[in-house]
Amino acid sequence: MHVAVITGASSGIGLATAKMFVEAGIAVVGVARDAGKLAAMERALAGGPAPVATLAVDVRDDDAPRRAVDLAVERFGRLDHLVNNAGIGSPKPVHETDDETLDYFLDVMLRSPFRFCREALRVLATPGTIVNVSSTYALLGGLRGGAYSAAKGGINALTTHLACQYGSTGIRTNAVAPGVVATPMTMGRMDDERFRRMNVDMTPSTRMGLAEDVAQAIFFLSSPASAWINGQVLAVDGGWSTTKFLTEEALSAERRPVTPDWSHSGRPRGEGAG
């Protein structure tokens, strides 16, 4: 029986991933801060094809990676998969971000995954997998990304390094970069018209993304079906990051006029040299 450690496992993408792993017969060590939510996860997954253990801890704690990995080995005898999913949302642009907020975002979404990877490498079986949860905001310049974009960009670089350094040992490392999906972290922001239009109106899909969509990608990258995939960042975003799509509503919206700027090159801004 394979064993996975999943951070941020009590809700959203982490919970959907834990459920998918358990249903596939993979034991799960779920890591999150909220003991009550973890208990609910255990109850929901009880009786499944594989067992579940939980650890209520802040992933920023110095001993969190060691405790999670040790729990996997002590309870289930091994560790085959690590999913670094824990994250936070609602970032601010750089000029609005103080040092405390910067440190918090980097600690949760870059320093913590780095340390969980380092600890997991100590015992990870071969073949084994690491999947880091990045973001489309690390692929494109997302508005208001700030420290969030910086942390997720670091995750992408960490992923490619791990793939290069440890791929020859049988440990594959990949990342998924979700767009905005329906999770407790994002649903409240859908009441913001600007946020909704920036995401929903620019995604060429007939529905909003679900946590299960991302979990499917994580599961695939953790499975033998992806055995020849290493060092990749897979966008799971309905096409948001790779298209110039706009809904009919957005295309027909009233636009402000654009005044040509002749001040630099003697031709309107954006006009080619041709």
What CATH number is attached to the domain comprising 114? 3.40.50.720
Write b or e for each residue in 242-257: b if 16 or more Cβ atoms lie within 10 A of its Cβ, otherwise e: eeeeeeeeeeeeeeee
Would 222 be classed as within a structural domain? yes
Known catalytic residue at 148: yes
> Which pLDDT does position 248 carry in this prediction?
86
Would 270 be classed as within a structural domain? no
What percent of the chain has pLDDT above 90? Answer: 75
Would 33 be classed as within a structural domain? yes
Distance CA 73, CA 54 (A): 13
Would 267 be classed as within a structural domain? no
Would 57 be classed as within a structural domain? yes
> Which pLDDT does position 198 carry in this prediction?
75
pLDDT of 269 over the 60 cut: no
> Which pLDDT does position 39 carry in this prediction?
97
> Which pLDDT does position 259 carry in this prediction?
59
pLDDT of 217 over the 60 cut: yes
Range of the structural domain that residue 146 is part of: 3-251
The residue annotated as part of the active site, out of 104, 137, 148, 166, is 148
Would 231 be classed as within a structural domain? yes
The model's pLDDT over 129-160, given as tens digits with 9 standing for 90+, comes to 999 999 999 999 888 889 999 999 999 999 99
The CA angle 168-85-1, to the nearest 5 degrees, is 60
Total domain count, the chain:
1
Would 266 be classed as within a structural domain? no
The model's pLDDT over 97-113, given as tens digits with 9 standing for 90+, comes to 999 999 999 999 999 99
Would 262 be classed as within a structural domain? no
Distance CA 121, CA 43 (A): 30
Average pLDDT over the chain reads: 91
Q: Are 31 and 55 in contact (CB under 8 A)?
A: yes
